[in-house]
Structure 1
Amino acid sequence: MRPVDPRLFRQAGAARRFLAVCVVAGIADAVLIVVQAGALATVVADGFLHGLTVSAATPYLLVAAAAVGGRSVLTWVGESAAAATSAAVKSTLRRALLDHEIAAGARRVAARDRHGESALTATRGLDALDGYFARYLPQLVLATVVPLVVAVRILAADRLSGVIVAVTVPLIPVFMILVGMASKSAMDRQWSALQRLSGHFLELLTGLTTLKAFGRGRAQSEVVRRAADAQRRTTMATLRWAFLSALVLELIATLSVALVAVSIGLRLVGGGLGLREGLLALILAPEVYLPLRRLGARYHDAAEGLSAADVILSRLAEPLPPSGDRVLPDASAPRIRLEGVTVRHPGRAEPAVDDLTVEFAPGRITALTGPSGAGKSTLLHLILGLAAPDAGRVTVDGHDLAGLDLEAWRARIAWVPQRPFIVAGSVADNICLGRPDADDDAVRAAADAARLDVPLDRQAGSRGSALSGGQIRRLAIARALLRDALVVLFDEPTEGLDMATEEDLLAAIAPALSGRTCVVVTHRDAVSGFCESVVRLAGAGAGAGVGTEVGPSMVETAA
């Protein structure tokens, strides 16, 4: 772990400003330490040798008190700035990570890690940056500035004490580096174990119903127990290194201060050193080592946060698929064409889609059907720009999607995925995610069109826990209708609905889809019959389709 990661400061401007504040505060704190020690040494020495009166000592005491007050103010300013900086940096990194993962595409993100690992890194991992900005970084600046300034003042007051300090102080960073190298590997192992545990546990919760249905719950409980035990062992190993580093630093600092104190005492007895100079050096000696000792303790406060930041910064450094800057006019629904596209998922021998050519005409509702695994959802990801084809291209009104501004393109799309995401808020709040500036009448109209039989002020619960599966799907459809987009993508929109509700819903949303480019992934005959054309995918290895007229709909079979 690098004490100051340049990537972190390049990514977040707030971190650079905070570092500048820390440097200024560190210099001011070092000066105040010297002033405070000088005032106290003068009062004690003159009081003992010359009988300094209270009135004569008062100015020195006031100076010492002012120095203490100034250091307190600096501490308060530093903590306030640290809290604000930490919040700003965490928000910046989280948004940058989210934007990067969206731009990277669903396939690449899924191939790299599991959902639990990314969520853990972006939440608990980045939350640990509070320790870095609130405690470690300010202490790092103090450990750099204060020992240097104070050691120079000691050298000016007592040359021998200054030499002892100059010889012993470098020992602390040396041992910190040695212990840090070992503790870093322990921290990395702990973080990896925590990521594995988090990811595995999240996947178990997602598939809990399936595990119970097949009687695999007890076996997976044992897997979780082993993962938790591995996390316990790595955590205890990290704590052992933390205590060991604290012991080493305290021992070196204590012996060093003792050497300075013994040398001062012997020379004071022999008359080879003035009392004021000796007291000044003795008061300042612990201040040289104190910031370094505290830095060793703060290192472990920051290690987890920096480990998570390192993961995120490494991801942000990964090259992204090329993205253009062309923005198409949004006057009418676009024509979308996939030309000879091939998509291969990592770890699979057969391509999900192979040399497929298909066109989605503007103003028409097209159904995508076929067996599971035929690549239907993959085609939606290609249209959304969440995945890039390994071969071929996607065009919008004749323009290659790779040359378009993807953010502007997605702003024209309403998408209902297989598993719609529901936030912890009211039903109306969730519908408004489609268009935050929509008024109550528009929200109510969208809910009515989607046949959502739930009060708009009802709380949906986290991930829709207070709603049924059918209600969640209809809520997502209402959100898509409210968006009023020129391109509408549905992925199994009526899954979990009974036939009567499905028929009523399709009839209700038909007017809202008029004049739009609409693609519907479905396995249900009623939905296919509702659509104006149907594209059937035969599965992996499917090639360009050939259109044939079947009743009122055009059916293209990719085989």
Structure 2
Amino acid sequence: MTSPVTAWLREQSRPVRRLLNAGIAAGAAQAVLMCVGAWLLAHVLAEAIFAGRRLADLWPAVAALPLLAAARFALVLWQRRVTFEAGARVSTSVRLSLEERMRLLGPRWAARQSSGDIVTRFVDGVETLIPYYAGYLPQVAFAALMPALILLAVLPADPWSALVLLVTAPLIPLFMVLVGRAAEQASQRRWSRLRRMGARFMDALSGLTTLRLCRATEREQALLAATGEAYRHETMAVLRIAFLSALVLEFFATISIAVLAVLIGFRLMWGTLAFEPGLFVLLLAPELFLPLRALGTQRHRRMEAAAAAEDLIALLATPVEAATPTTAARSSPRPFTAARVGIAFEQVGFGYTSDRMVLHDFDLRLDAGTQLTLVGASGSGKSTLFNLLMGFGVPQRGRILVNGEDLATLDMASWRRHIAWLSQRAHVFHGTLRDNLLIAAPGADDARLERAVRAAALVPVIARLPQGLDTPLGEHGQGLSGGERQRLALARAWLRDAPLLLLDEPTQHLDSATAAVIDAALAKLAAGRTVIRIAHRLDTIAAETRVAVMTDGRIVEVGGAGELRAAHGAFARLLAADRAA
């Protein structure tokens, strides 16, 4: 019975079947030319040595030999080119499928994963597929096709030699089956170790500042060294099996050829076999075993691909129902095109697990063009509310209405174009400042870009950068302060020009002067738009600001900040706790 991993690997080869077949056909043509070349060489030597014919009489056959060699060389190049192209296309297709799956799973799922593990799967895991389709899969066909063609060529020349080859050839695949299980287990252990090492390395790299401050770098270095040493042992175990199996395969092939050579030698001595067919068989005997030996050396590529494919299959099979909106299951989600956004939560219940509900019968209404500030203790459900609005989660109960339409019936891509989101720490990608701004609006012209830069108070930042907007920024915004990164994010929001603003306290980690600049720019941006803001610094909330207090996944108070302070309720208690901290 075919294993699920093998079935999946074969399924991926369907789109490139034509390329693989072309490579296999090139291999078959090589075998035919090889038989023709071996016959010509045996014929030339037999005629020159035993028939006493001159070279001038044999020149057509002699001239054909280099032409056959050149044709075989061209076929080898063609075969490798098309099979590599097949492997590259499969790896590209799988990588695109993984990217699409991760897009469907969403940021909430990605936040729970190890970035090192994901990188290892995406890079090393996908790359192992190329040698599988470029090397191992065609070699399986060659191992069956080429020996069959050679046996067909040997059979009319010397049936006894064909019988010897037919009996000895199966010894090599039989041994491959015997050692295959141990080698496959060793490859799986090695792949698992590589994933763990990649995850640990990426975690250590991202937390290097913390490790340095806590003086834990030496300890982490020792742990990474131990993990690397364990990976080295696993790799050497795989190589040990590969080298030993290759040695045994060479031994069986050599013994088989030696037995055949001895039999042919005796028969030549006894006069029961002519020189020309005997030499022809001896020239082809190593070529018969060559694809079988090559298949043995290619098996480790199959094992690496199978070990990686098991994880890739698991990732591609990760259910998306709990991570993405139900639009994925709708046959015709409706696009959202409104210029203004009104939102209503009706009896919404949501939990990350069945026994951990975050929102309980949550009700909230926000008219288009109005603003609301959400406050509450950590874990009260504020960030979950944003995840649901952005389509990264689906309510288990109730519904979310956007301009009276159920969010679950809307096309997520068109809906998200109406949202601008600012987080506590803006993410800056590796690239120029211009590249990072144009993420929000790839088609923005220079005039629109300049307006966004001025509105976000980013002009002084650009003025001090050596190349202005074209200054390369390091990963995570190296070269920019926290306040400057937030101004960049604010400029993105201006470029996006969305009717709904979701602000996850973008001034939380800034000093008061920088926070005031950002707040002033946000006030201009928020004019006429629907705004929901999560606030953590309650002292800075203006008295006229409309506030909703969340406790245990419910709204317990709504009103102006000044009124709620005077009411000595939930908001007043949060404010007192904030000041005490």
TM-score by length of 1: 0.89
Bigger CA drift: 444-453 or 250-259? 444-453
- Number of the residue aligned with 2:195: 195
Kindly provide the amino acid, as one letter, of the partner of residue 333 in structure 1: R
Counterpart selection for 1:386 from 392, 406, 415: 392
Q: Deviations over 1:305-342 (max 9, x none)?
A: 44334322332234432413312331323333333334
Name structure 2 gaps, 5 residues minimum: 463-467, 575-581
Counterpart selection for 1:412 from 407, 418, 436: 418
Counterpart selection for 1:355 from 354, 361, 367: 361
Bigger CA drift: 526-535 or 29-38? 526-535
Residue 428 of structure 1 and its aligned partner are, at CA, apart by 0.4
Bigger CA drift: 235-244 or 316-325? 316-325
Contact preservation (8 Å) 1:8, 1:313: no
Bigger CA drift: 173-182 or 12-21? 12-21
- Number of the residue aligned with 2:500: 487
- Number of the residue aligned with 2:308: 308
- Number of the residue aligned with 2:251: 251
Counterpart selection for 1:371 from 377, 385, 397: 377
- Number of the residue aligned with 1:498: 511
- Number of the residue aligned with 2:335: 328
- Secondary structure at the counterpart of residue 344 of structure 1: strand
Say if 1:226 and 1:276 are closer, same or farther in 2 by CA, change over 3 A.
Answer: same
Kindly provide the amino acid, as one letter, of the partner of residue 50 in structure 1: A
Q: Distance in 1 between matches of 2:496 and 2:543?
A: 22
- Number of the residue aligned with 1:522: 535
Say if 1:236 and 1:50 are closer, same or farther in 2 by CA, change over 3 A.
Answer: same
Q: 1:199-218 maps to which residues of 2 (within 5 A)?
A: 199-218=199-218
- Number of the residue aligned with 2:579: none
- Number of the residue aligned with 1:317: 317
Matched, 1:441 2:454: no
Say if 1:196 and 1:54 are closer, same or farther in 2 by CA, change over 3 A.
Answer: same
Q: Distance in 2 between matches of 1:161 and 1:517?
A: 86
Say if 1:4 and 1:474 are closer, same or farther in 2 by CA, change over 3 A.
Answer: same
Q: Distance in 2 between matches of 1:151 and 1:480?
A: 72
Name structure 1 gaps, 5 residues minimum: none
Contact preservation (8 Å) 2:20, 2:83: no
Residue 269 of structure 1 and its aligned partner are, at CA, apart by 1.3
Q: Distance in 2 between matches of 1:172 and 1:531?
A: 84
Say if 1:424 and 1:549 are closer, same or farther in 2 by CA, change over 3 A.
Answer: closer
Bigger CA drift: 9-18 or 183-192? 9-18
Q: Deviations over 1:388-419 (max 9, x none)?
A: 33444433333333333323333333333444
Alignment RMSD:
3.1
Q: Deviations over 1:96-132 (max 9, x none)?
A: 1121122124444555x42211111101222333323
Q: Distance in 2 between matches of 1:272 and 1:430?
A: 82
Say if 1:287 and 1:547 are closer, same or farther in 2 by CA, change over 3 A.
Answer: same
Say if 1:279 and 1:458 are closer, same or farther in 2 by CA, change over 3 A.
Answer: same
- Number of the residue aligned with 1:140: 140
Contact preservation (8 Å) 2:27, 2:79: no
Q: Distance in 2 between matches of 1:187 and 1:434?
A: 44
Residue 2 of structure 1 and its aligned partner are, at CA, apart by 7.4
- Number of the residue aligned with 2:266: 266
- Number of the residue aligned with 2:80: 79
Counterpart selection for 1:465 from 454, 478, 499: 478
Q: Deviations over 1:206-264 (max 9, x none)?
A: 33333444454444344333322322221221111111221121111111111221221
Residue 160 of structure 1 and its aligned partner are, at CA, apart by 1.6
- Number of the residue aligned with 2:284: 284
Residue 44 of structure 1 and its aligned partner are, at CA, apart by 1.7
- Secondary structure at the counterpart of residue 50 of structure 1: coil
Contact preservation (8 Å) 2:117, 2:199: yes
Q: Distance in 1 between matches of 2:254 and 2:500?
A: 71
Counterpart selection for 2:558 from 528, 543, 547: 547
- Number of the residue aligned with 1:33: 34
Bigger CA drift: 426-435 or 311-320? 311-320
Q: Distance in 1 between matches of 2:311 and 2:369?
A: 45
Counterpart selection for 1:428 from 425, 429, 434: 434
Residue 426 of structure 1 and its aligned partner are, at CA, apart by 0.7
- Number of the residue aligned with 1:48: 49
Q: Distance in 1 between matches of 2:292 and 2:544?
A: 71
Q: Distance in 1 between matches of 2:5 and 2:315?
A: 18
Say if 1:551 and 1:143 are closer, same or farther in 2 by CA, change over 3 A.
Answer: same
Contact preservation (8 Å) 2:183, 2:303: no
Residue 460 of structure 1 and its aligned partner are, at CA, apart by 0.8
Residue 56 of structure 1 and its aligned partner are, at CA, apart by 3.1
Q: Distance in 1 between matches of 2:26 and 2:523?
A: 65
Contact preservation (8 Å) 1:101, 1:109: yes
- Over the matched positions of the two proteins, sequence identity in percent amounts to 36
Q: Distance in 2 between matches of 1:243 and 1:274?
A: 39
Q: 1:174-185 maps to which residues of 2 (within 5 A)?
A: 174-185=174-185
Say if 1:231 and 1:343 are closer, same or farther in 2 by CA, change over 3 A.
Answer: farther
Q: Deviations over 1:39-67 (max 9, x none)?
A: 21211222222123323322223333222
Q: Distance in 2 between matches of 1:497 and 1:175?
A: 67
Residue 431 of structure 1 and its aligned partner are, at CA, apart by 0.7
Kindly provide the amino acid, as one letter, of the partner of residue 340 in structure 1: Q
The structure number with the bigger radius of gyration is: 2
Residue 83 of structure 1 and its aligned partner are, at CA, apart by 4.2
- Secondary structure at the counterpart of residue 235 of structure 2: helix
Say if 1:463 and 1:180 are closer, same or farther in 2 by CA, change over 3 A.
Answer: farther
Say if 1:17 and 1:443 are closer, same or farther in 2 by CA, change over 3 A.
Answer: farther
Counterpart selection for 1:340 from 337, 341, 347: 347
Aligned residues: 555
Q: Deviations over 1:149-180 (max 9, x none)?
A: 11222223221221222222222222222222
Contact preservation (8 Å) 2:424, 2:507: no
Q: 1:1-40 maps to which residues of 2 (within 5 A)?
A: 5-8=6-9, 10-11=11-12, 15-40=16-41
Residue 531 of structure 1 and its aligned partner are, at CA, apart by 9.4
Contact preservation (8 Å) 1:333, 1:363: yes
Contact preservation (8 Å) 2:432, 2:472: yes
Say if 1:495 and 1:168 are closer, same or farther in 2 by CA, change over 3 A.
Answer: farther
